[in-house]
């Protein structure tokens, strides 16, 4: 009989490393980006996320676990008995690939001890680590006096429709964690809401240029890495050569990459920034607002285009706490508002669309934020704003037994001092009244979530799996 109090968890995980990597690599090879163009009733966010979820369940069925699938949206692995329900919530969908990869994002490779693939750290790697921890415990003979549900979703990176469907058909856990963030713990998550701005095409006026096309951003929760624009020269005396020189100077002054060319009176432009998670916009370089900032220095034949570029380039560019829109606020525990301009689009026939994503602490709310933004928009005649659906701030006190146990396990296995944390990112943990996020990145890990060349260090994967194993054992006793 195993003496679980004496187990060297990392040693047990390392013995089974090849098995762990085989299952993870199988899932990483599945392109599970949401694809609305291929969506249908059977695949509401496209076929990739559902396939990854079903393949995850097949692995669990192969290993002898009881599983259940909830429509095309979510799946569950079950073990244990008891009155209380312990939930572990992960996801199989991933953000779009974007540009700038040095490897095939869906052909995982281990290079210098790092697993490169889209989803390696967000969230297939951590979810497989939690599953493998559960499997390890069962194989070692552990018994559980609580029911454990490991739940995987397919729409975490966009609308969370998967969890809406799941909890319409299944029981809410009494407590649990989501392996989708950082150690030592995330026991607080800011609220999440997007401001949706529409820009009317506007009336015609005299100007040097006509903005024919502008596009930047893949998701509201990603800092745009790429931006493109197309313009036509309207003024007879416009100096195209000076325009190109000025653009190159702008790129040089801001250490940016990009190109611009002029052919038959049409200017084509692109700019490359750096992607980052939308909850930490200061870690990225927003290609869209940079391109708009440069273009805002010229005049346009439609005042809608003029206001679109001026708002992006002069009001929100370089502002990460929402102060330029009057929505900045700070809570002593949860910290400051963060602001990410995630989607920017303009075409003469449709006008413009801007999605600004906010992560906000306790002490403010979307209604207050909307009022402040509307005040700032009084100087713009062509721009209107509405607030989308929102998620409220979530916090589990540091003295909660769940938090205390998880921090104790972390300290025991790492020797590092545990402490509570609040993030701007949102995880499934917030769905549970007593839910927290727990790993799989460590304080010294490089965070590449939502970026090109996403990776998870192999050592971190093994360490996280060991921590999950002991944590699950402790929480289910």
At 9, the pLDDT band (50, 70, 90 cuts) reads very high
What are the start and end residues of each CATH 3.40.630.10 domain in the chain?
4-189+394-475
Distant-in-sequence, close-in-space partners of 350: CB < 8 Å, separation ≥ 6:
201
End-to-end CA, the chain: 16
Lowest mean pLDDT among 70-74, 86-90, 129-133, 329-333: 329-333
Is residue 123 reached through a cis peptide bond, with omega within 30 degrees of 0 on the bond before it?
A: yes
Q: Residues of 60-94 as b/e, b for ≥16 C-beta within 10 angstroms?
A: beebebebeebbbbbbbbebbeeeebbbbbbbbbb
* Overall CATH class of domain 4-189+394-475: alpha beta
Reply yes or no on domain 192-391 having CATH 3.30.70.360.
yes
pLDDT in tens, 379-394: 999 999 999 999 999 9
Query: In the predicted model, is pLDDT for residue 86 greater than 90?
Result: yes
Average pLDDT over residues 282-290: 97
pLDDT in tens, 191-237: 999 999 999 988 889 999 999 999 999 989 899 999 999 999 999 99
Tell me, what's the pLDDT at 457? 98
Catalytic residue status for 93: yes
Query: In the predicted model, is pLDDT for residue 416 greater than 90?
Result: yes
Distant-in-sequence, close-in-space partners of 164: CB < 8 Å, separation ≥ 6:
none
Is residue 19 reached through a cis peptide bond, with omega within 30 degrees of 0 on the bond before it?
A: no
Query: In the predicted model, is pLDDT for residue 122 greater than 80?
Result: yes
Residue 25 is encoded by which pair of tokens?
């690599």
Catalytic residue status for 156: yes
Phi, psi at residue 105, to the nearest 5°? -65, -15
* Number of Cβ within a 10 Å radius of residue 307: 22
Identified catalytic residue from 156, 180, 345, 470: 156
Q: What is the mean pLDDT of the chain?
A: 96
Average pLDDT over residues 75-102: 96
Query: In the predicted model, is pLDDT for residue 397 greater than 80?
Result: yes
Sign of CA dihedral 98, 101, 107, 109: negative
Tell me, what's the pLDDT at 203? 84
Residue from 237, 253, 234 nearest 245 by CA: 253
d(C-alpha 222, C-alpha 95), whole Å = 9
Contact 334, 422 (CB under 8 A): yes
The predicted model scores a pTM of 0.80
The residues with which 226 forms a beta bridge, in sequence order, are: 272
pLDDT in tens, 124-154: 999 999 999 999 999 999 999 999 999 999 9
What are the start and end residues of each CATH 3.30.70.360 domain in the chain?
192-391
Distant-in-sequence, close-in-space partners of 64: CB < 8 Å, separation ≥ 6:
none
Query: In the predicted model, is pLDDT for residue 190 greater than 90?
Result: yes
Residue from 87, 59, 58 nearest 167 by CA: 87
Tell me, what's the pLDDT at 243? 98
Contact 460, 441 (CB under 8 A): yes
pLDDT in tens, 317-341: 999 999 999 999 999 989 999 999 9
Distant-in-sequence, close-in-space partners of 280: CB < 8 Å, separation ≥ 6:
338, 424, 425
At 424, the pLDDT band (50, 70, 90 cuts) reads confident
At 2, the pLDDT band (50, 70, 90 cuts) reads confident
Average pLDDT over residues 299-327: 97
Tell me, what's the pLDDT at 169? 98
Tell me, what's the pLDDT at 426? 83
d(C-alpha 282, C-alpha 278), whole Å = 9
Tell me, what's the pLDDT at 202? 83
The order of strands in the sheet holding 422-423 is 394-395, 188-189, 422-423
At 159, the pLDDT band (50, 70, 90 cuts) reads confident
Query: In the predicted model, is pLDDT for residue 102 greater than 90?
Result: yes
**Burial grade of 110 (CB within 10 A; 0-12, 13-18, 19 or more):** middle
Identified catalytic residue from 12, 31, 93, 321: 93
Residue from 268, 246, 271, 349 nearest 305 by CA: 349
pLDDT in tens, 16-66: 999 999 999 999 999 999 999 999 999 999 999 999 999 999 999 999 999
């Amino acid at each position: 009989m195993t003496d679980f109090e004496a187990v060297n968890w990392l040693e047990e995980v390392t013995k089974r490393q090849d098995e762990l990597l085989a299952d993870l690599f199988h899932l990483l090879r599945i392109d599970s980006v949401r694809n609305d163009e291929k969506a249908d009733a059977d695949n509401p966010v496209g076929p990739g996320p559902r396939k990854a979820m079903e393949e995850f369940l097949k692995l669990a069925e192969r290993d002898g676990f009881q599983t259940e699938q909830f429509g095309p949206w979510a799946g569950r692995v079950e073990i244990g008995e008891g009155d209380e329900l312990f939930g572990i919530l992960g996801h199989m969908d991933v953000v779009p690939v974007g540009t700038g990869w040095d490897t095939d994002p869906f052909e995982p490779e281990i290079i210098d001890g790092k697993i490169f693939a889209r989803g390696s750290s967000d969230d297939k790697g951590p979810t497989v680590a939690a599953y493998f921890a559960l499997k390890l415990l069962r194989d070692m003979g552990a018994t559980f006096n609580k029911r454990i549900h490991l739940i995987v979703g397919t729409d975490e990176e966009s609308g969370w429709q998967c969890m809406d469907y799941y909890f319409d058909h299944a029981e809410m856990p009494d407590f649990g964690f989501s392996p989708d963030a950082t150690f030592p713990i995330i026991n607080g998550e800011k609220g999440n809401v997007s401001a949706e701005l529409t820009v009317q095409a506007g009336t015609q006026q005299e100007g040097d240029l006509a903005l024919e096309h502008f596009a930047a951003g893949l998701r509201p929760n990603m800092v745009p890495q790429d931006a493109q624009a197309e313009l036509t020269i309207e003024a007879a005396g416009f100096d195209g050569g000076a325009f190109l020189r000025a653009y190159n100077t702008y790129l040089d002054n801001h250490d940016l990459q990009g190109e611009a060319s002029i052919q038959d009176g049409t200017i084509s432009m692109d700019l490359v920034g750096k992607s980052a998670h939308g909850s930490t916009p200061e870690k990225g370089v927003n290609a869209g607002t940079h391109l708009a900032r440069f273009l805002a220095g010229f005049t346009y034949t439609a005042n809608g285009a003029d206001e679109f570029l001026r708002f992006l380039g002069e009001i929100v560019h370089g502002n990460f706490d929402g102060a330029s829109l009057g929505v900045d606020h700070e809570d002593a525990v949860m910290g400051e508002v963060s602001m990410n301009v995630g989607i920017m689009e303009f075409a003469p026939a449709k006008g413009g669309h801007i999605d600004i994503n906010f992560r906000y602490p306790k002490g403010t709310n979307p209604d207050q934020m909307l009022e402040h933004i509307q005040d700032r928009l009084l100087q713009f005649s062509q721009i209107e704003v509405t607030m989308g659906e929102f998620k409220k701030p979530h916090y589990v006190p540091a003295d909660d037994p769940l938090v205390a146990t998880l921090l104790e396990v972390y300290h025991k296995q790492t020797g590092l001092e545990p402490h509570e944390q609040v993030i701007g990112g949102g995880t499934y943990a917030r769905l549970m009244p007593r839910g927290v996020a727990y790993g799989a990145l460590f304080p010294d890990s490089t965070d590449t979530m939502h970026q090109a060349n996403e990776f998870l260090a192999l050592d971190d994967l093994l360490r996280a799996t060991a921590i999950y194993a002991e944590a699950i054992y402790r929480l289910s006793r």
